[in-house]
Structure 1
Amino acid sequence: MRLGKRASAAPPLEPSPQALAAAEHLAHLVRIPTVTPPPGPLSEADQALFTVYREELERLYPRVFAAAEVETPGRAGLLLRVPGQFAERPVLLMAHQDVVPVPADWAAEGWEHPPFDGVISGGRVHGRGTLDDKGAMVVALEALESLLTDGWSPLRDLYLFFGGDEESHGAAAVEAVSLLEERGVEPWMVLDEGGAVATEAFPTLRRPMAVIGASEKGLMTLRLTVESLGGHASTPPRESAPGILARALVAIEDHPFPAAVHDVSIEMLEGVAPHVARPMRGLLKRAGRRRAVLARIMPRLGPELAAMVRTTAAITQLEGSPAQNVLATRATAVINVRVAVGSSCDEAVEHLRGAIDDPRVAIDVVEASEPSPVSPTGDDARWRALGAAIGESYPDAVTVPYIMLAASDARHVARISPAVYRFSPLAMDKAQREAIHGPNENVEISALGAGVTFYRALLTGDALGPSDPARSRD
């Protein structure tokens, strides 16, 4: 290069053949609108839709389905077992087939492409499910299909579970876990959706951040109810049921749960410390001794970091009078509570009861699941295996544990496995993360290629099963 002349920017790399194949397959699966079915038995229409989806999986990944024993637990669940040389210490990989619904007027919601058209444009696959969670399912299957094509076979039994109703609390996963439990299957490691290779996720961190969920928050649905006499809207009482309920809801938002920084979050903060700007670096390097300071700072740095350090309560549904000129005899609100690891559902209810401080507001628990146990990190062989696979697929990423804020099917597996992790090996920027369950969900084709590389590295690594099985039985 001559001095005085500026080097031209390197042209963007063309996606690899495996990335392009994964993109085409994902786009095809997005076009099958496997929206989470309502509670109860599957309708004929939903059954037909999930049957078509399974048939397409079998067509796209013939070697996987030929090698596997296939069962269908629950509502449209798929449980595959690819036998290895050894049945002990099996590995379970998970994803889900179902997706959240899209409004009928999807264009008004802001979608740039029809959500179920599986459009490939601008180096990305667009559509509902590309990130949550068909993209992760595709890269796992692409990796396994390619390995089987190469003549590889797993050292230890490999299970795959693809839920059909994860977005409605995972009844299929519950049944699949019960089947495994009855058979004495105790997965040595479980990997489901959750974290990602995130950019723009942490202040001043310029490198990608591969966050692996070592635990996940508990999930609770509460219904708040206020009763009153009702009557004609022309003669309203001084206090109405909706008014009393409204004050209760304001009280909930005015009294957030106390913040506390869990050990997993400390490990995450200390892990990113060497890679952030200097003013923050010193604080994070000593995160374990600065918990109180961090508990005050993190809630101010955005909703993601705020949710990492406390239980959250979101008001999601409201109901009052059935008519515009009738006083409500009952007003209700649904509260979605995500319970912090280290707390409990009972503690969350008591906090809300104290914040509302009004006996006229009844609080009923509709459903509840406690926070998940914390899986091993540090020098554990399974954690090292995940880190090594990330190093192969995203060499610039900083790998750290975190507490998953949302809920996944993985929480149902925690009772039969000592190591349950939540990580999708897909790159996601801030806009992509915000598009999950929203408009313009999309995944980069290059990220799909990296995801295939991740799963190939994970499945053939020394911890899970080397390419030469004679090398190790551990």
Structure 2
Amino acid sequence: MTSTVSASGAFDEGSNDAVAARHSAAAGAAAAHIDVDARAVERLAALVRIPTISRHPDGPGPRRDPEPFERFIEALPTLYPRVHEQLTRERVGEAALLYCWPGSDPDGATTPTVLMAHYDVVPATDDGWTHPPFAAVITNSGPDGGDDAVMWGRGTIDDKGCAAAIFEAIDRLIAAGFTPQRDVLVSLGDDEEVTGRGAQAVVALLRSRGIRPSLVLDEGGAIVSGAFPGVDEPYAVVGVTEKGITTLRLVVEHQGGHAASPPPLAATERLARALLRLNRRPARARLDPTTRTMIATLGARARQPLRSVFTRAGLFAPLLVRVFLRTSAETRALVRTTRAVTELRAGHAANALPERAEATINMRIAPGTSVAEAVDEVRSAIRDEAVEIDVLEPSEPSPVSPASGAGWDAIVQAVRDVHPNLLVTPYVMMQASDSRFFTTISDHVYRFAPFRMSAAERACLHAKDERIRLSAYLEGVRVYEALVRQR
């Protein structure tokens, strides 16, 4: 074949040189893409290897070690130099960080887009982990099978994965010469796992500056499958609200004595009876409006006969509540306030009766209810005035953000830019996040980590063997990139 050149000077499409040029360009672009992705993975690994473990400042154990937090803060400019050249950075509170990427429209400074994450993690030791939690080991596949490479480590999903993906997205946009129309703020919390005081300080700072974000996106939902009865395809769940969170401390005081002559109902037995009564009387189940919308949205893709029931959620609400209560722990949590006994304390010697027995209960308050209602249900279930109930750090369910309008549409479009035609639904986030504090300065607060997560991967949050598939992580980077391009 003869090489020819068109009148414009370009290679003719049919020539050997043209074909070679196209192949060379495609190979170069592919190599560059692989190189960028490889660096993205390396930077996430570097952050996961820093053990930024949060411990409650008022808890019985040792306070957190500040050294890893300082090391994390110092590592960011080295890992993302382009981001730190273009964005300003403020340290807020003890170790929270607030970045600002100025937009082209000055009016956008008071209505910015806020991308949130936190870089503290819950404690982890090597015990029981397939790979050490702070080694960021990468394997060719995970326990779920398949050929996806996997990074193992505490924080890969909760929540350094989001933090790193946000920085990667901004870095790529800067490299492409992009400037957002309105300001983009990045809020990195340092204590989300314990108190959220860093995020509260950021909110106070933004409020003092008259800033009301037009969109706030934090961790929360994900791209999942198999969690909703009858729906086989994957779908994205975006939190438009989240449950409240409250800690109860149940306390029983009783005169101690020698264990050789125990009374019929000592402090420990009385506390145990209270917990058993509480377990037999779970909170009332109901369908809140957001969950009804989710059921109708996902139900339209369900297999029959479930589809006919799900798309008539209002008519079949009592039946749906029963179905959700029997399906899984995740679906049960969608329809009621949950209670989990997380700590038990009593006694000081093996042969002495405890003078005080305590239990800590973590409650997640369902939308449409309140902390007061949840505590009243606990009192009614226990039916024992000798059991003291202390309410600690009460937080009500968050206001519901709209599942329509510019902010919501931008999230949906960003997801579908990367995952075409993916079903996206609002839902109630069952965990608590730093985003709940932002509801005081924005009406458009959403919770979504843009990663594909299997049921096994979701089960590893706050547990052993937390991990993320690298393909899912890199897709998340692209979702953040697509979202910022729209803002």
TM-score by length of 1: 0.91
Cα 1:238/1:300, change in 2 over 3 Å: same
Say yes or no: does 1:91 pair with 2:117: no
Aligned residues: 444
**SS, match of residue 278 in structure 1:** coil
* 1:13-68 deviation line (CA, Å, top 9, x unaligned): 99954443322211111111111144179x99833321211122111111211122
Matches within 5 A, 1:42-121: 46-85=65-104, 86=106, 87-103=109-125, 106-107=126-127, 109=128, 111-121=129-139
2:54 aligned residue:
36
SS of 2:78's equivalent in the other structure is helix
> Could you say what secondary structure the match of 1:413 adopts?
helix
Name the CA distance, whole Å, in 2 between partners of 1:44 and 1:314. Answer: 24
Q: Secondary structure at the match of 1:191?
A: strand
Q: How does 1:21-420 map to 2 (within 5 A)?
A: 21-39=39-57, 46-85=65-104, 86=106, 87-103=109-125, 106-107=126-127, 109=128, 111-122=129-140, 123-378=149-404, 380-420=405-445
- Paired residues of 1:98 and 1:163 also in contact (CA < 8 A): yes
Match of 2:485 among 449, 460, 463: 460
The 3-state SS of whatever aligns with 1:432 is helix
1:421 corresponds to which residue? Answer: 446
With normalisation by structure 2, the TM-score equals 0.88
Corresponding letter in the other structure for 1:126: W
Q: What is the CA–CA distance in structure 1 between the aligned matches of 2:221 and 2:75, rounded to whole Å?
A: 27
Q: RMSD value over aligned CA atoms?
A: 1.8
Q: Which has the higher contact order (CA 8 A, sep 6+)?
A: 1
CA distance in 2, matches of 1:152, 1:44: 42
Provide the C-alpha distance between the structure 1 equivalents of 2:168 and 2:291, rounded to a whole number of angstroms.
33
Alpha-carbon distance in structure 2 between the residues aligned to 1:37 and 1:313:
22
Give how far 1:75 is off: 2.4
1:56-112 Cα offsets, whole Å, 9 max, x none, are 211111121112221111221111111112313211110001111013xx23x2x11
The answer to whether the Cα contact below 8 Å between 1:19 and 1:448 also exists between their aligned partners in 2 is no
Shift in alpha-carbon separation, 1:178–1:376, aligned structure 2, 3 A: same
Counterparts of 2:272 and 2:406 in 1: how far apart (Å)?
51
Q: Which residue of 2 aligns with 1:9?
A: none
What's the offset of the Cα at 1:200?
2.2
> How big is each residue's C-alpha offset from its partner over 1:312-357, in whole Å with a ceiling of 9 and x where there is no partner?
1111111111111110111110000000011000000000000001
Following superposition, the deviation at residue 266 of structure 1 comes to 1.0
**3-state SS of 2:441 partner:** coil
Contact residue 53 and residue 64 of structure 2 kept, 8 A: no
Q: Structure 2 counterpart of 1:119, which letter?
A: V
Give the secondary-structure state (helix, strand or coil) at the position aligned to 2:124.
coil
* Structure 1 contact 19–445 (Cα < 8 Å) conserved: no
Call closer, same or farther: CA 1:259–1:97 in 2, change over 3 Å: same
Q: Tell me which residue corresponds to 2:473.
A: 448
Q: Structure 1 residues 350, 44: closer, same or farther in 2, change over 3 A?
A: closer
Deviations 1:205-224 (A, max 9, x none): 22112000000000000100
Identical-residue share of aligned pairs (%): 43
Does the 8 A contact of 2:57 with 2:63 survive in 1? no
Distance 1:37 1:255, change over 3 A: closer
Q: Deviations over 1:228-279 (max 9, x none)?
A: 1111101101111111110100011100111111111111111112222112
In structure 1, list runs of 5 or more residues that go unmatched: 1-12, 465-474
Q: Distance in 2 between matches of 1:435 and 1:45?
A: 23
For the pair shown, the structure with the greater C-alpha radius of gyration is 2
Query: Which AA in structure 2 matches 1:337?
Result: M
Code of the aligned partner of 1:382: G
**Structure 1, 386-395 or 288-297: larger mean CA deviation:** 288-297
